[in-house]
Amino acid sequence: MHQAFTPPTNAQRSHRIHDALIAHTAAQVVEGTPVETLHTLSEADKAQDLLSDLMHWCEAHEVDFDDLLNLSDLAYRRELEGPGPLPLPDPLIHHI
C-alpha cells in the first residue's frame, strides 16, 4: 500500500538548498579550490556562486535561465501561500 504524497514544508525546501550548497562547496574542493578560500565566503556568496554555475548549466543544456527564474518566482510565491509545490516545467523533467 502506498502512502499519500505529502508536499514538503518550506523549511524542508530551505534545508534542501543547505544540502545543495554543501555539495557544491565539496565539488569546488575536489576541483582544487582551497578550503581556506571557501571558509571566507558568506552564505550569500556561496548562493551567488551556485546560481552562477546554474546559469552555466542552463546555457549548456539549452534551458532559458530567465524563464526558469520567472517560473521559480511563481512557485516560491505559491509555496508561501500553501504547502503544495508547482509541477516542474516539461523541459526540466527530462534532465532529472
Digit-coded pLDDT (tens) for 8-47: 888 888 888 989 988 998 888 888 888 888 888 888 888 9
Domain positions in the chain: 23-60, 63-96
DSSP characters for 5-45? Answer: P-PPPHHHHHHHHHHHHHHHHHHHHHTT--HHHHHTS-HHH
Instruction: Give me the pLDDT at residue 68, please.
Output: 94
Q: Residue 90: pLDDT above 70?
A: no
